[in-house]
């Protein structure tokens, strides 16, 4: 039996999620079901729109590698839709990105809230790069200081994300729910699960 953080969502939960709407970068509502309908879709739920280290690494996934696997990579954040364009520019992510300000999808898929960090004795993920202080300072500069009008729209900092592979249609073949704030699955491992060549 899969651990709680890797358990695949049930067909009933996926159907419930498919009926929920998210917002694109212009504020238009889009159903989650339409996002995963036509092809294999790697969906990364991020923590908030001022935290970009993981998405910067996702930006290095080649479009031709996704195309060869008939897959696409989608990011969903828990803030408002207004920061999306700036976040894509900051992280250099070129794929589709959506906002789930009600956190309906986050709640449906059991994504947890906490401010815990990597437990002592456990190796930190490679996307974290430099020190914790460096990451915090980078997040502050790229977020609130650089874009004061977006403060309050980034989403709650305690909301953790997760990494899933859906589709085509209302199916899920991979699930990883962050157990703490530094716990996205390694990009290389996520792409391997999706059959996408990386780097």
Q: Would you kindly state where each structural domain of the chain is located, as residue ranges?
A: 11-192
Cα–Cα distance, 167 to 191 (Å, whole number): 15
Are 72 and 164 contacting, i.e. CB atoms less than 8 angstroms apart? Answer: no
Q: Give the domain 11-192 fold.
A: Glutaredoxin (3.40.30)
Q: What is the pLDDT of residues 106-124, one digit of tens each?
A: 999 999 999 888 888 888 8
Which residues are registered as beta bridge partners of 41? 72, 166
Q: What is the mean pLDDT of residues 139-154?
A: 57
68 pLDDT more than 70: yes
* Under 8 Å between Cβ of 59 and 127: no
pTM: 0.87
Residues ≥6 apart with Cβ < 8 Å to 12: none
Residue for token pair 């729109």: 49
User: Which carries the bigger pLDDT value, residue 132 or residue 18?
Assistant: 18
DSSP 159: B
């Amino acid at each position: 039996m899969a651990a709680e953080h890797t358990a695949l969502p049930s067909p009933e939960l996926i159907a419930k999620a498919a009926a929920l709407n998210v917002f694109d970068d212009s504020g238009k509502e889009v159903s989650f079901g339409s996002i995963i309908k036509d092809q294999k879709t790697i969906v990364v739920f991020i923590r908030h729109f001022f935290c970009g280290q993981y998405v910067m690494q996702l930006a290095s996934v080649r479009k031709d590698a996704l195309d060869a696997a008939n897959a696409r990579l989608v990011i969903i954040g828990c803030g408002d839709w207004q920061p999306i364009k700036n976040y894509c520019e900051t992280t250099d992510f070129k794929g589709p990105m959506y906002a789930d300000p009600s956190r309906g999808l986050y709640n449906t898929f059991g994504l947890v809230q906490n401010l815990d960090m990597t437990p002592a004795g456990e190796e930190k993920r490679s996307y974290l790069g430099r020190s914790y202080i460096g990451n915090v300072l980078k997040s502050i500069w790229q977020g609130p200081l650089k874009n004061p009008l977006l403060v309050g729209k980034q989403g709650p900092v305690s909301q953790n994300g997760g990494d899933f592979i859906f589709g085509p249609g209302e199916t899920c073949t991979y699930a990883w729910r962050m157990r703490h704030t530094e716990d996205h699955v390694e990009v290389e491992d996520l792409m391997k699960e999706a059959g996408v060549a990386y780097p």
